[in-house]
């Protein structure tokens, strides 16, 4: 009789405890996975979107992926984005991550994944700010959007020992902006809520866009300047014209140039990809040097391989610490005969 595989469940509480002191490890996992992706040691097909006729702003996204290397794994993240949740003080996103054994395909774990999604996004953004901007110090950090992703990015800036002279937050919801300002107050002596979008962005050394915007609303080229590092996490805030004179870096070019993102609109506007400089993996490999005589824009579509790699890391830690819910009889007898 073939022994059935063991199935593990990692709750959100367990993952939160593992992530509380694991910032450096997550950044390392993200950096290593980007390098693997650059070497074509990953499989990251298109995401798949489930949309609803009666809920036009809601969606559930499937991100299948596989990571090779010493401990290969495959799997899928299933993440729901419901912007209207915030009206009831619910987080916009909820997610699960299913990990599969690379050799047999059998599922081996199910993880609460909204936190994984947030930290891999934050680690990616902060890593990009470091390697593209040339250090962990900045003048003013402008944060546009005051949700969970923005808060997690700030948390990773702090954990990676960044120093900013000041931090300015802007959100259409003033209450949320004030809460994020308080969260950031330990990171800079001067921490404020910007009275306007333009005031918040103009002159900032670093800008984080972490909104739910569906179409571009930032059109003024005077808001961008040479050497400014723009973390275009939400992908649809900047008018495509603003990207054309910038130094544009992506996590994956083909993934980013779709789904009406600002880079996709720039491609449609120009009919080409001349505005594309390369990928973060190219920078990490020393094959691409940031041009700091231009605004530097990092546009990450969000790769499923990052979720898998972080999830694999957390599963390993949880098993070593005995913190998983182990289900020995999840599968029936797996022998064919």
Q: What is the pLDDT of residue 1?
A: 36
For residue 185, count other CB atoms closer than 10 A to its CB. Answer: 13
- C-alpha 26, offset from chain centre: 12
Secondary structure (3-state) at 257: coil
Secondary structure (3-state) at 268: helix
Residue with tokens 């275009």: 232
Full set of structural domains in the chain with CATH? 7-116+304-327 (3.30.1780.10), 122-299 (3.40.50.720)
| DSSP annotation string for 86-117 | GGGT--SEEEEEEEEETTT--EEEEEE-HHHH
Q: What is the pLDDT of residue 4?
A: 65
Q: Are 170 and 193 in contact (CB under 8 A)?
A: yes
pTM, two decimal places: 0.94
Q: Taking the CA atoms of the chain, what radius of gyration do you get in angstroms?
A: 20
Q: What is the pLDDT of residue 335?
A: 79
For residue 52, count other CB atoms closer than 10 A to its CB. Answer: 11
Residue 294 has what DSSP assignment?
Answer: S
Under 8 Å CB-to-CB from 67, ≥6 apart: which residues?
33, 36, 41, 42, 43, 73, 74, 305, 308, 309, 312
Q: What is the pLDDT of residue 158?
A: 97
Buried residues in 85-100 as b, exposed as e (16+ CB within 10 A) = eeeeeeebbbbbbbbb
Beta bridge partners of 35: none
Nearest Cα neighbor of 235 from 266, 251, 256 is: 256
Distance CA 200, CA 194 (A): 5
Would you write out the chain's pLDDT as a tens digit for each of its 337 residues? 355 678 999 999 999 999 999 999 999 999 999 999 999 999 999 999 999 999 998 999 999 999 998 889 999 999 999 989 988 988 888 999 999 999 999 999 999 999 999 999 999 999 999 999 999 999 999 999 999 999 999 999 999 999 999 999 999 999 999 999 999 999 999 999 998 999 999 999 999 999 989 999 999 999 999 999 999 999 999 999 999 999 999 999 999 999 999 999 999 999 999 999 999 999 999 999 999 999 999 999 999 999 999 999 999 999 999 999 999 888 887 777 8
What does the angle CA 200 – CA 203 – CA 204 come to, to the nearest 5 degrees?
Answer: 65
Q: What is the pLDDT of residue 295?
A: 98
Distance CA 35, CA 303 (A): 13
What does the angle CA 98 – CA 104 – CA 109 come to, to the nearest 5 degrees?
Answer: 25
Under 8 Å CB-to-CB from 337, ≥6 apart: which residues?
none
């Amino acid at each position: 009789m073939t022994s059935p595989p063991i199935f593990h469940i990692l709750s959100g509480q367990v993952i939160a405890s593992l992530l509380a002191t694991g910032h450096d490890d997550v950044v390392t996992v993200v950096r290593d996975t980007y390098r693997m992706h650059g070497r074509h040691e990953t499989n990251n097909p298109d995401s798949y979107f489930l949309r609803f006729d009666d809920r036009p702003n809601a969606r559930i996204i499937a991100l299948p992926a596989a990571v090779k290397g010493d401990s290969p794994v495959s799997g899928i993240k299933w993440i729901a984005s419901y912007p209207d949740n915030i009206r009831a003080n619910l987080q916009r996103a909820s997610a699960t991550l299913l990990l599969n054994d690379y050799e047999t395909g059998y599922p081996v774990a199910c993880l609460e994944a909204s936190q994984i999604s947030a930290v891999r996004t934050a680690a990616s953004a902060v890593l990009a700010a470091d390697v593209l901007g040339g250090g962990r110090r900045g003048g003013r950090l402008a944060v546009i959007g005051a949700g969970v992703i923005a808060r997690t990015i700030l948390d990773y800036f702090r954990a990676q020992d960044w120093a900013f002279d000041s931090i300015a937050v802007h959100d259409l919801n003033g209450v949320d902006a004030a809460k994020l300002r308080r969260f950031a107050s330990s990171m800079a002596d001067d921490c404020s809520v910007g009275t306007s979008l333009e005031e918040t962005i103009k002159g900032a050394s670093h800008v984080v866009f972490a909104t739910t915007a569906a179409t571009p609303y930032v059109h003024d080229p005077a808001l961008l300047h040479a050497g400014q590092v723009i973390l275009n996490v939400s992908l649809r805030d900047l008018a495509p014209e603003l990207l054309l004179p910038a130094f544009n870096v992506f996590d994956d070019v083909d993934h980013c140039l779709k789904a009406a993102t600002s880079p996709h609109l720039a491609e449609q506007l120009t009919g080409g990809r001349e505005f594309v400089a390369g990928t973060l993996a190219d920078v990490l490999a020393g094959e691409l040097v940031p041009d700091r005589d231009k605004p530097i824009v990092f546009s990450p579509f969000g790769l499923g391989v990052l979720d898998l790699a972080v999830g694999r890391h957390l599963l390993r830690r949880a098993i070593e610490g005995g913190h998983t819910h182990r289900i020995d009889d999840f599968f029936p007898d797996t022998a064919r005969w």
